[in-house]
A and B are shown apart, each in its own frame.
Chain A
Amino acid sequence: MIPFTYARAANTADAVVHGSAVGTKYIGGGTNLVDLMREGIEHPQALVDVSGLSRDINETADGGLLIGAGVKNTALAEHRLVRTRFPVLSRAIVAGASGQIRNMATVGGNLLQRTRCTYFYDDTGARCNKREPGQGCDAVDGFNRIHAILGASPACVATHPSDMCVALAALDAVVHLEGAGGKRTLPFNELHRLPEGRPDIETLLEPGELITAVELPAQPMAAHSTYRKVRDRASYAFALVSVAAALEVDGGMIRDVRLALGGVAHKPWRAWKAEEVLRGQPASQQLFQAAAEAELANATPLRDNGFKIELAKRTIIAVLGDLSGVSA
Chain B
Amino acid sequence: MAIRINGTDVQAPSDPRVSLLDLLREELHLTGTKKGCNQGACGACTVLVDGERVVSCLALAVQYEGREITTVEGLSENGALHPLQEAFVEHDGFQCGYCTPGQICSAIGMAGEAKRGVPSHVTEDLSAETITLTHDELRERMSGNLCRCGAYNGIVAAITETFVEAGE
Given contacts A27-B60, A100-B54, A103-B54, contact A78 B143 (CB under 8 A): no
- Whether A235 pairs with B143 at a CB distance below 8 angstroms is yes
Q: Is B123 an interface residue (CB 8 A)?
A: yes
Q: Is B164 an interface residue (CB 8 A)?
A: no
Q: Is A328 an interface residue (CB 8 A)?
A: no
Given contacts A94-B121, A99-B53, A100-B53, contact A31 B126 (CB under 8 A): no
Q: Is B117 an interface residue (CB 8 A)?
A: yes
Which chain A residues numbered 161 to 211 have a C-beta less than 8 Å away from chain B?
none
Whole-angstrom distance from the CB of A65 to the nearest CB of chain B?
Answer: 15
Chain B residues with Cβ below 8 Å from A234 are 140, 143
User: Bound state CA distance, A31 and B118, in angstroms?
Assistant: 20
Stretch at the interface among B23-31, B35-43, B84-92, B155-163: B35-43
User: Bound state CA distance, A97 and B144, in angstroms?
Assistant: 8
User: Bound state CA distance, A93 and B126, in angstroms?
Assistant: 13
- Whether B58 pairs with A98 at a CB distance below 8 angstroms is no
Chain A residues with Cβ below 8 Å from B19 are 34
- Whether A27 pairs with B140 at a CB distance below 8 angstroms is no
Which chain A residues numbered 1 to 49 have a C-beta less than 8 Å away from chain B?
1, 3-6, 8, 27, 29-31, 34-35, 38-39, 47, 49
- Whether A49 pairs with B52 at a CB distance below 8 angstroms is no
Chain A residues with Cβ below 8 Å from B60 are 6, 27, 30, 34, 47
- Whether A91 pairs with B144 at a CB distance below 8 angstroms is no
Q: Is A287 an interface residue (CB 8 A)?
A: no
Chain A residues with Cβ below 8 Å from B65 are 8
- Whether A99 pairs with B58 at a CB distance below 8 angstroms is no
- Whether B123 pairs with A98 at a CB distance below 8 angstroms is no
Q: Is B17 an interface residue (CB 8 A)?
A: yes
Whole-angstrom distance from the CB of B90 to the nearest CB of chain A?
Answer: 24
Closest B residue, CB atoms, query A46: B16
- Whether A94 pairs with B123 at a CB distance below 8 angstroms is yes
Given contacts A1-B17, A77-B118, A90-B119, contact A51 B63 (CB under 8 A): yes
Whole-angstrom distance from the CB of A50 to the nearest CB of chain B?
Answer: 11
User: Bound state CA distance, A87 and B121, in angstroms?
Assistant: 12
Chain A residues with Cβ below 8 Å from B16 are 4-6, 47
User: Bound state CA distance, A236 and B43, in angstroms?
Assistant: 11
Chain A residues with Cβ below 8 Å from B39 are 35, 38-39
User: Considering only CB atoms and an 8 Å cut-off, how many residues of chain B contact the other chain?
Assistant: 40
User: Bound state CA distance, A6 and B59, in angstroms?
Assistant: 13
Task: Give 1 or 0 for each of B135-165: 1 = CB within 8 Å of chain A CB.
Answer: 0000111111100000000000000000000
Closest B residue, CB atoms, query A235: B143
Given contacts A34-B60, A235-B143, A236-B144, contact A104 B126 (CB under 8 A): no
Chain A residues with Cβ below 8 Å from B106 are 99-100
**A100 partner, pick from B15, B38, B123, B144, beta carbons under 8 A:** B144
Task: Give 1 or 0 for each of A124-166: 1 = CB within 8 Å of chain B CB.
Answer: 0000000000000000000000000000000000000000000
- Whether B143 pairs with A236 at a CB distance below 8 angstroms is yes
Q: List 26 A-B contacts (CB under 8 A).
A: A1-B17, A4-B16, A4-B17, A8-B63, A8-B65, A30-B59, A31-B40, A31-B58, A35-B39, A35-B40, A47-B16, A74-B118, A78-B116, A87-B126, A94-B123, A97-B144, A98-B40, A98-B43, A98-B143, A98-B145, A99-B106, A100-B46, A103-B52, A103-B54, A104-B54, A104-B58
Q: Which A residues have a C-beta under 8 Å from some C-beta of B?
A: 1, 3-6, 8, 27, 29-31, 34-35, 38-39, 47, 49, 51, 74, 77-78, 83-84, 87, 90-91, 94-95, 97-101, 103-104, 229, 234-236
Q: Which B residues have a C-beta under 8 Å from some C-beta of A?
A: 15-17, 19, 38-40, 43, 46, 49, 52-55, 58-60, 62-63, 65, 106, 109-110, 113, 116-121, 123, 126-127, 139-145
| Additional A-B contacts beyond A6-B16, A98-B144, A100-B109 (4; CB < 8 A) | A38-B38, A83-B126, A235-B139, A236-B143
